[in-house]
Amino acid sequence: MEAELNQYLDLGLIRPSKSPWASPVLMIRKPDGSIRFCIDYRKLNSVTVKDSYPMPRIDDLLDVLGRAKLFSTMDIASGYWNVPMSQGSIEKTAFTCKYGLYEWLVMPFGLCNAVPCFERLMEHILIDYKWRTCLVYLDDCIVFSEDFGSHRVRLTQVLTKFREAGFKLKMSKCKWGRSSVPFLGHIITPAGILPNPEKIKSVLRVKPLKDVSEVRAFLGLASYFRRFVRDFSKIAAPLSALVTDETFVWTPDCDVALDKLKRSLVSPPILAHPDFDLPFDIWVDASHIAVGAVLMQKQDGKNRVIAYASQSLSKAQQKWITKEMGISEIECWGVVWATRKFCPYVDRRHFTIYTDHEALTWLFNQGSRSGNHKLARWAMEIQGLDYTVIHRAGELNGAADGLSRLPVCPIQTRSMRRLAQTDPDLTTGKESSRTRSPSSEVNPTQPRLPEPTSNKTPQPIDLYDRRGRPSPRLYNEQANDTWIVALRAYLDEGAVPLDPHLLKLVVRNSHQFVVRQGIVCRYITFKTPLRNPELVLVPVIPYTLIEEVLYASHASPLAGHLGYMKTRERLLFAYRTSHHETLGDSPYFCLFERDPTLPLDLAFMNAEPSWKSDDLPQYKRR
């Protein structure tokens, strides 16, 4: 601390003070081990009149760099110290330490008005060149041009302004005449924009979060790059719920969300620079938890992504799906929200909206003649824009397929089967195929399931191999099970079946299920008399495998039975202490192949089993 004070005194940055104001000093250790000199101005900031000078939006700055080929970035050395304090404000910056009371002659870090004050100064210095020759965000400045000749001229203009203002540059952070430069946490190239790998590292290092404050910090950091992550709001929904919940409970879904956000940022897409001389396309999609949109543009004959955007639905909006026209309302809201989000790009120019909900083409293209007042009001809201709405079937709406689609047609099982065959280690699905074939409807009252064959002795089945990987047969059988297919589509994509009964079952029970290694699994509470209850993740057994699984785990010579007497003693204990809900058979029936007359029969009867180990028991459901 003494060395820091002496340095500031020698540079003329501070002086001894007699001010009635005083703020404490904090010495913060940096990652490299050195000490940072900080002053806690929170009390002073709480009584300061705030400066409302606007900061430039990051996306607005990045959009200006569209046609540039060369870039130079500059960093102002000790930027805040280039701003002198006014006479009336000097005494308010006083800070106290064991060496005395001092006050600042230049603007220190930590004041609430330091950021808007410095931004105003930088924009005033470069007022003749900002947005046309250079961009500035606090002490970061970037000069851009389309060729080397104009780049030299623009650099000379900007550097002349800095010299006149008395600014000095930090040369170690300056880049000159590059085709790729870091700027505001991004990498700027002529081809497009991508996040800076150095900034992404801080996201990738995050471990499971322990409290709400850590969740907020992570979401704030990850949200800075949300324009690169398709369906950010949907992916982050389990983490966002932790912020609003009264109790903090870290669930397996939170682990999945955290891991998926990290993986999305490891290999992000290159977002193209917008060309405002070309038309834009907005691909819109909606699910039961979020709406999403992709801003695209055809450049050089190729569809290029300009930006991704998504927003979680509020609890009230999520209830729309239960209404008669709920799907239409959610899809319509997605269109309205997307036009609001990308209005700076599409205002006063013709653009095209692509949606997988065919009813919206009539609503928006033919006018607001809907009996639903909400839909009519939304249609009128965007009628001042010049647009065309085009329907694209769900499987063709590839730009927005990451967000869960609410299908206007039933789900087919071949999507899940194809997923299992192509990537057995995949934890979440990517696509749900849909057709309008009535024969493919999911009907829970008349399930199209193959009947189990009980005339042959089932063989033991291995659901997982020695390395813990699911067997191919489990993949295929789940892909052919109607209930599991509908549940998987809802978990992966939010796609819901048309059948109202199955829709209600899927939505109400989905919180108990999760996809692991491409297999639909369920959380159950495992209870035993000698151990505390614990949460266990088990695979959902397809209907066609139930008989084989029961045989393999119960009647097979390789199963867990340890002989008649040992098994009988265990069954006695289990009968008296355990619930009989999971298997559906009583322990007595498993042993004697008939139901007991009274529960106490099991304690007094000493009969031998009437079946041999190589015979298949005929299981009975109560």
How far is 513 from 403, CA to CA, in rounded Å?
Answer: 19
How far is 112 from 470, CA to CA, in rounded Å?
Answer: 56
Does domain 2-190 match CATH 3.30.70.270?
A: yes
Quick one: pLDDT at residue 214?
A: 83
**Contact between residue 121 and residue 138 where contact means Cβ atoms under 8 Å apart:** no
Quick one: pLDDT at residue 554?
A: 61
Span 349-387, pLDDT tens digits: 888 988 877 767 766 665 545 556 777 777 777 777 888
Span 216-239, pLDDT tens digits: 888 887 887 777 787 788 888 888
How far is 427 from 235, CA to CA, in rounded Å?
Answer: 13
Coil/strand/helix, residue 111 = coil
Instruction: Identify the residue with better confidence: 319 or 148.
Output: 148
For 452, the token pair is: 């189990």
Any idea what DSSP says for residue 240? H
Q: CB within 8 A of 495, min separation 6: which ones?
A: 287, 404, 405, 406, 407, 411, 432, 434, 489
DSSP conformation letters of 424-476 = TT-SS-----B---GGG---TTS---PPP--SSPPPP--SB-TTSPBPHHHHH
Domain with CATH 3.30.70.270 in the chain: 2-190, 194-266
Q: CB within 8 A of 33, min separation 6: which ones?
A: none
Residues 545-565 have a mean pLDDT of 64
The backbone torsions φ and ψ at residue 141, rounded to the nearest 5 degrees and listed phi first, read: -135, 140
Average pLDDT, the chain: 73
Coil/strand/helix, residue 306 = strand
Quick one: pLDDT at residue 594?
A: 57
Domain with CATH 3.30.420.10 in the chain: 280-400
H helices of 237-385, where? 237-244, 252-266, 315-318, 326-341, 343-346, 359-366, 373-381
Instruction: Identify the residue with better confidence: 421 or 381.
Output: 381
**Contact between residue 128 and residue 118 where contact means Cβ atoms under 8 Å apart:** no
Span 467-487, pLDDT tens digits: 677 888 888 888 888 888 888
Token pair 């280690």 is at which residue?
425
Quick one: pLDDT at residue 365?
A: 62
How far is 260 from 619, CA to CA, in rounded Å?
Answer: 43
Quick one: pLDDT at residue 423?
A: 37
Quick one: pLDDT at residue 430?
A: 34
How far is 50 from 27, CA to CA, in rounded Å?
Answer: 27
CA atoms in the 13 A half-sphere facing the CB of 316: 1
Q: CB within 8 A of 42, min separation 6: which ones?
A: none
**For residue 536, with 0-12 CB atoms within 10 Å meaning exposed, 13-18 middle and 19 or more buried, which class applies?**
exposed
Does domain 194-266 match CATH 3.30.70.270?
A: yes
Quick one: pLDDT at residue 33?
A: 66
Which amino acid is it at 183?
Answer: F
Does domain 280-400 match CATH 1.10.3720.10?
A: no
Span 266-307, pLDDT tens digits: 666 777 888 888 888 998 888 777 788 888 888 877 778 888
Residue 562 has pLDDT above 60, yes or no: no
Closest CA to 73 of 156, 195, 176, 157: 176
Span 156-174, pLDDT tens digits: 999 999 999 888 898 888 8
Question: CB 349: neighbour CB atoms within 10 A?
Answer: 14
CA atoms in the 13 A half-sphere facing the CB of 183: 31
Token pair 């397929």 is at which residue?
401
Coil/strand/helix, residue 251 = coil
For 517, the token pair is: 């290694």
For 411, the token pair is: 């789900």
Span 9-48, pLDDT tens digits: 988 999 998 989 999 888 777 666 667 788 888 888 888 8
Quick one: pLDDT at residue 158?
A: 92
Residues 169-184 have a mean pLDDT of 87
How far is 300 from 372, CA to CA, in rounded Å?
Answer: 42
Quick one: pLDDT at residue 140?
A: 87
How far is 303 from 301, CA to CA, in rounded Å?
Answer: 7
